[in-house]
Amino acid sequence: MNFEAARDQMVEEQLRGRGIRDERVLTAMRKVPRHLFVDPTVRDRAYDDSPLPIDSEQTISQPYIVALMVEILELRGHERVLEIGTGSGYQTAILAELAMEVYSVERIPALAQQAIARLRELGYSERAHVNGGDGGKGWIEAAPFDGIVVAAATREVPRPLVEQLAPSGALVLPLGEIDLQGLARIRRGKQGLQVDYFGECRFVKLVGPYGWEE
């Protein structure tokens, strides 16, 4: 299979064709080899318009959703970003192409170790840092963050993440119930938190006090 051609087609049809306009995001999505971040048994489907399985009964998000989430962060290259839910490390690599530094938290130890190794092999280890733990607590030692992206559904906005967000930063997360969420971007405003929605989405649940218990 010609993965490079499939990646180009993904960018043009699934991303640009559906409204992704940030050229930096499109370039990052064209560069990062998604087929190296999915389960080998579905590698020939790596550039399909759908989520795919990874280890530990988790999934890698649909390419369009990844592109949309990072686009609405509005990164310009100088930012420090927190990612909650490393998974296989795909979105981590995309963020590392777009920001100065990425700090990513993964609750499943096996996924965290696999992502660390994969990101190292692809040359992202200097800009992408992965740690195990409860994503709802963030990464307080590295705060504040110019952007925070949560790749798991929450019932409420995790207060620790808001506290770790820089005053001009943006927090992007799927907010709602287990079966359906709205993709939300949260900024601090003069009247409190300002929330904008960017359509419906479906993510795996965030496990913990701000999501659901296992």
Q: Which of 9-18, 62-71, 203-212 has the lowest mean pLDDT?
A: 203-212
**pLDDT tens by residue, 19-69:** 999 999 999 999 999 999 999 999 999 999 999 999 988 899 999 999 999
Q: What is the pLDDT of residues 75-93, one digit of tens each?
A: 999 999 999 999 999 999 9
Catalytic residue numbers, as ranges: 61
Query: What's the pLDDT score for residue 159?
Result: 93
Task: Spell out the domain ranges in the chain.
Answer: 3-201
Residue 173's pLDDT is 97
Tokens linked to 140:
């307080």
Classify domain 3-201 at the CATH topology level.
Answer: Rossmann fold (3.40.50)
Q: Over the stretch 89-116, which tens digit does the pLDDT of each residue have?
A: 999 999 999 999 999 999 999 999 999 9
pLDDT the model gives residue 214: 63
Q: With pLDDT > 70 as the criterion, what percentage of the chain qualifies?
A: 100
Q: Is residue 208 predicted with pLDDT exceeding 90?
A: no
Query: pLDDT tens, 134-188?
Result: 999 999 999 999 999 999 999 999 999 999 999 989 999 999 998 899 999 999 8
Task: Give this prediction's pTM.
Answer: 0.95
